[in-house]
Amino acid sequence: MISSVLFEIEKKIRELSQKEQLWLIERLAHGLRERTLKDQGILENQLAAMASDPEIQSELKKMGEEFALTESDGLEKV
């Protein structure tokens, strides 16, 4: 649900000049891009840490061995 505060902000934005509105949109978009890139970087760092974790590597190896049995079930790979 949209809060009444957001409606007030929208009302105030409409009172700005077109130049000010464009500036505000650009600043908001820039901030969102920066946050998205930062979040992606954090996720990539977490995935890299997981990939280098010996316990996770061991688990993945075990899973690969378990699924290797099903590769010989007679079904062709697509």
Asked whether residue 18 is assigned to any structural domain, the reply reads: yes
Number of independent structural domains in the chain: 1
Inside any domain, residue 29: yes
Q: Give the CA angle between residues 49, 51, 53 to the nearest 5°.
A: 70
Structural domain includes residue 20 = yes
Q: Is residue 27 part of a domain?
A: yes
pTM: 0.53
Residue 78, H or E segment: none
Q: Which residue has the tokens 């977490």?
A: 46
Query: Considering the domain boundaries, does residue 72 fall inside one?
Result: no
User: What is the chain's pLDDT, residue by residue, as a tens digit (78 residues)?
Assistant: 789 999 999 999 999 999 999 999 999 999 999 999 999 999 999 999 999 999 999 999 998 888 877 776 666 665
The pLDDT of residue 76: 63
Residue 51 lies in a domain: yes
The answer as to whether 45 is a domain residue is yes
Query: Which residues constitute the domain of residue 29?
Result: 7-65
